[in-house]
Structure 1
Amino acid sequence: MGCSITGSIPSSIRNLLRMQVLELNDNALTGSMWNNGIEDLTKLEILSLNGNELNGSIPSDVRSLTKLKAFDASRNELTGTIPSHIALLTKLEYLVLSDLGLRGTIPEELVNLSLLQTLKLNNNILSGTIPSLIGDQLASSILGTIRLKELDFSFNKLKGVIPSKMMNFSVLQTLNLKENILSGTI
């Protein structure tokens, strides 16, 4: 449960250069998630802003947060696409961009996230095919690392065949692909 914080994220946040964890979940924050100084907090390891009313898109400035291990922007009013620059955050273990208005395809550059344990992109308007994301290259990098435990692409507009290689991941605990236009066997 949040603290009932309202208003926008103040630009003075950029002065907290040693901050490693920023969690402002379940409040009533409004305005842009970016252009307020968060992109200057290069020591951040955890950025969790879920359950607010933040708007705009995820900009390319996200690439400056190279120490991020966890990024959760779910349950906001974000739009646009998932920027390929997220793949430059190679320390990410937890990426949750659920319950937003994100469109477009899932960037194939996510193959660079070899430490990823949780990838949740559910409840968006994402399209394209899973094989364009989880082809042989992704299967051998992300999923082949035996780290990915949770994968949720449910409630999107993904189509195509479910990659058979997904069934070779022994540590995968949760796989949710429902409410897409997918075929194949598991």
Structure 2
Amino acid sequence: MGKFIWLCQIRSLLFVLFFLSVVDCCLSLSSSSLNPTPSCLPEDTSALLQFKNTMSIDDSAFYSYCYPKTNSWNESTNCCSWEGVTCEKATGQVISLDLSCSKVVGSLAPNTTLFRLRGLKRLDLSLNNFSASPISSGFNQLASLTHLNLSGSYLSGSVPSDISLLSKLISLDLSRNEILELDSHSFDMLTRNLSKIENLLLGWVYMSDVVPTSFMNLTSLKCLSLEFCGLQGDFPSEIFQLGNLEYVELSWNSLTGFLPKSNWSSRLKFFDLSSNYFKGSIPSSLGNLTKITYLGFSSNKLEGQIPDIFGNINKLTTLDFSGCNFS
């Protein structure tokens, strides 16, 4: 009888072990099926390889830390595994392309094959050399773009109004293209159509024709960077009160205006108005900005007394009032 019970226990134990192994196998299969390596679409592979072949690599003309990401691109491998390329898992469509700092040299013509990547949501071509070519109208074919970074890529001419057709843009960075211009018409269209824009970086883009009140349409802003843009005229202080605003860089322009007395964005972390013509006094409400790390007011026409409020801002690392008219 005891032997029979012992055999039953052994059989039960073996059954449990078998059951657990089956469950583990099923879970492994389920996990692999839920996270398969996507296969790149043939048309996306072709578009990327053609782009690579129309561009050249210049090892001497860039920062030492840059390197050519396109060297890993090979037609015999899945493009979803290429450096800088991200694919949508379900379809294999290319949705993100990061070629920043890749030593790419060439021209962004309207027929550039990158514009065939209709599923792109993120495109970063920053810190390359596009040979003073203009920003192509072909970008408007990338209607799904949410993030576009063309900073420091040696682009020239006028920013086309077609950029405003990218209505899903959340982040637009055209900064550090010193021979690029943005006129008032194109900027008005941009602010009217890009209602979702959160990050707008246009530093060093010449835009002296732009009327500062145009910025009032950008109510979703988190980051506004406009240093060295040739801006002039009254800048609306209401911008500084936008609820999501975290970063403001307006230095080295010819802007005038006053600082708001209250209702500053409580999320502000960086605020620089250096080298402008802002007037009036420093409001005590700045003391409520508990997240601020940088405050730059140097070389403005601010006057009066500096309120004793900044000692309580624990995160503040830089405070610059030099070159103003404080008593």
Q: Measure the CA separation in 1 of the matches of 2:200 and 2:268.
A: 15
Matches within 5 A, 1:71-150: 71-76=172-177, 77-81=179-183, 83-87=187-191, 88-130=193-235, 133-134=236-237, 139=238, 143-150=240-247
Contact 2:241-2:263 within 8 A present in 1 as well: no
Contact 1:57-1:78 within 8 A present in 2 as well: yes
Shift of 1:101: 2.2
State the identity as a percent: 29
What amino acid is aligned across from residue 153 of structure 1 in structure 2?
L
Query: Does 1:3 find its partner at 2:115?
Result: no
Matches within 5 A, 1:38-57: 38-57=139-158
Shift of 1:128: 0.8
Which one of 136, 150, 166 corresponds to residue 65 of structure 1? 166
Q: TM-score, normalised by structure 1?
A: 0.86
Which one of 165, 178, 181 corresponds to residue 274 of structure 2? 178
Contact 1:45-1:68 within 8 A present in 2 as well: yes
Query: Does 1:157 find its partner at 2:157?
Result: no
Summarize the Cα distance change of 1:113–1:166 in structure 2 as closer, same or farther, 3 Å threshold: farther
What's the RMSD between the two structures over aligned residues? 1.9
Shift of 1:171: 1.3
Would you tell me which structure has more helix in proportion to its own residues? 2
Shift of 1:90: 1.0
Contact 2:223-2:248 within 8 A present in 1 as well: yes
Q: Measure the CA separation in 2 of the matches of 1:29 and 1:166.
A: 45
Aligned residue for 2:15? none
Q: Measure the CA separation in 1 of the matches of 2:262 and 2:222.
A: 14
Summarize the Cα distance change of 1:61–1:107 in structure 2 as closer, same or farther, 3 Å threshold: farther
Aligned residue for 2:70? none
Shift of 1:110: 2.7
Query: Greater relative contact order: 1 or 2 (C-alpha under 8 angstroms, separation 6 or more)?
Result: 1
What amino acid is aligned across from residue 152 of structure 1 in structure 2?
E
How many pairs align? 176
> 4+ runs of 1 displaced by more than 6 Å?
none
Which one of 120, 140, 151 corresponds to residue 19 of structure 1? 120
Structure 1: gaps spanning 5 or more residues: none
Q: Measure the CA separation in 2 of the matches of 1:62 and 1:165.
A: 36
